[in-house]
Structure 1
Amino acid sequence: MKKNLLALYCALIFAPLLMPAQAQDCGDDSPCPQPRYITHAKLTFNDGSEYDGGFKDGRYNGQGVFRYADGNVFEGQYQAGKRNGHGQLTYDGNTFVGNYQNGKRHGIGKLTYRSGDVFEGQYENNQRNGVGTLTYQSGDEFVGHYQNDKRNGNGTFTYKNGDKFVGNYQDGKRQGQGKLTYANGNAFEGQYQDGHRVNGTLTYTSGDRYTGEFADGNYHGQGTFTYHSGDKYEGQFRNGRFDGKGVFTYKNGDQYAGDYQAGLPHGQGTFTYKNGDKYEGGYVKGVRQGEGVFTFASGQVRKGVWENGELKP
């Protein structure tokens, strides 16, 4: 009789340790507190999620595997119910392998996106923070600094086509000083704002060079274009062409100063020749048109109306 009572008592005490545990749904990865004496268990949540791993003081602790109802899986280290230490999380086709702290990505990690893009670098508070490398499936690559999951600070972006940008970023966009070298050898160096170049020098392999303001990728505002031939334009630009007031100085010493429109003298202008001759008057699409005065170096003056570049009789 005493032996039977002892057997029944032992069965009641140790039965929980021999049976799978059914965990209540507590609304997150953490289980509702389990008996403190459990050191390893497999829990099934009401939504179908499962945890199989270590416990300490009623919380996940040590190595464990959490399989979510949606198919996501975490395998790694836990401490006090949260991911802490090395682990691997597979979710929505993406895979993160790296370090965790208090349930969040923290330290060195590698995230492989389902698209094929791969990030390797530093994390803090579950976001990319610090130095990292993002290699795109397309073949492009960024190496540099991150803050709050965005490119921030110095970085180098190398494109598959051979273009390369080295400079500063802010909130994921080029900002401040930077240099963009194109695969064909052309290069821009200057200031960026909100991802767009706004002021600097664009040098061509031909030897031509533009220094000045930009808008929407084009010469726009005040600038200087120097040709490899020795000719030079200084003045206003609009949408990549001479437009507004400007001075064009030719290598041979001739010079035009006046109005431009769509890349050509248009409006009022003065053309001074190297030999001292000078024309002052109207232009239309690069041709003398309207009233004008031609003064020869000798002092002779011809006034009148010009049409298609010729003085009317």
Structure 2
Amino acid sequence: GTCYMGKFERDVLQGNGNVEHYSGGSTAMRPPFNGRNSFNFDNGSSYEGEWRNFLPDGYGTYIWPNGSKYVGFFEAGCFHGDGKLYDRNGTCYMGKFERDVLQGNGNVEHYSGNKFQGNFLNSRANGSGKYSFRKTVVEGVWENGHFSTARHDSEGSH
């Protein structure tokens, strides 16, 4: 079944509240409507944050059953705006998202300590960027997630 704890006005759910949906229940209910709410989905994912027209919209946190997590802004149910996406291994993708993909300037910090800072297109390194690992820094141009061209400074180092 489904349980809603929150405010009702004239038989309509309003404002802040919590919805819990338990598998096997005979009653299906849509996620929260408008305002700040939390919702646990049948697939084990959860969302806590702002909703608009039954979709995450505004600032919130979405957590998958495998431990991956997105913290940031949503628009019409998609990651959209500034956000951080953590995968289940601890790698963090930070920057601007457009319709669920990292676009423009951003950073990736791998659980191993390796870092990439630069431009992204469709969540892949694309354009100028800098990759740091151990004591090595490589600056250059990436294309579709792959290193393409090294940039040399005046001393000829990479």
TM-score (norm 2): 0.78
> Are positions 1:99 and 2:4 aligned together?
no
Q: Which one of 239, 246, 255 corresponds to residue 150 of structure 2?
A: 246
Offset of residue 95 of structure 1: 6.2
Distance (whole Å) between structure 2 residues aligned to residue 135 and residue 210 of structure 1: 33
Determine the C-alpha separation between the residues in 2 that align with 1:132 and 1:211: 34
**Cα deviation digits, residues 179-214 of structure 1 (max 9, x gap):** 112221211121111221113110112221101111
Contact 1:157 1:166 in 2 (8 A): yes
Distance 2:90 2:3 in 1: 38
The residue aligned with 2:140 is 235
Label 1:181 to 1:95 Cα distance change in 2 as closer, same or farther (>3 A): closer
Deviations 1:64-114 (A, max 9, x none): xxxxxxxxxxxxxxxxxxxxxxxxxxxxxx86867353xx73325747498
Q: Does 2:44 match 1:139?
A: yes
Deviation at 1:164, TM superposition (A): 1.2
Provide structure 1 residue ranges, at least 5 long, that are not aligned to the other structure. 1-93, 122-127, 257-313
1:208 is matched with 114
CA distance in 2, matches of 1:135, 1:170: 19
Amino acid in structure 2 at the alignment position of 1:105:
V
Structure 1 residues 96 and 141, CA gap change in structure 2 (3 angstroms): closer
**2:126 is the counterpart of 1:217:** no
AA matched with 2:88? A
Report the Cα distance in structure 2 between the residues aligned to 1:111 and 1:164, rounded to whole angstroms.
19
Give the Cα separation in 2 of the matches to 1:172 and 1:224: 32
How many residue pairs are counted as aligned between the two chains?
A: 150
Q: Is the 8 A contact 1:118 1:134 kept in 2?
A: no
The separation in 2 between residues aligned to 1:142 and 1:109, in whole angstroms, is 11
Moved over 4 A (4+): 94-98, 108-121
* Bigger RCO (CA 8 Å, 6+ sep): 2
Identity percentage over the alignment? 25
CA distance in 2, matches of 1:141, 1:248: 46
Q: If the length of structure 1 is used for normalisation, what is the TM-score? A: 0.42
CA RMSD of aligned residues (A): 3.1
- CA offset at residue 163 of structure 1? 0.8
CA distance in 1, matches of 2:18, 2:129: 46
Secondary structure of the residue aligned to 1:255 is coil
Match of 2:80 among 175, 196, 199: 175
- Cα deviation, residue 241, structure 1: 0.8
Q: Which amino acid aligns with 2:12?
A: R
**Structure 2 gap segments, 5+ residues each:** none
Q: Which amino acid aligns with 2:13?
A: H
Q: Whole-Å Cα distance in 1 between the matches of residues 22 and 88 of structure 2?
A: 28
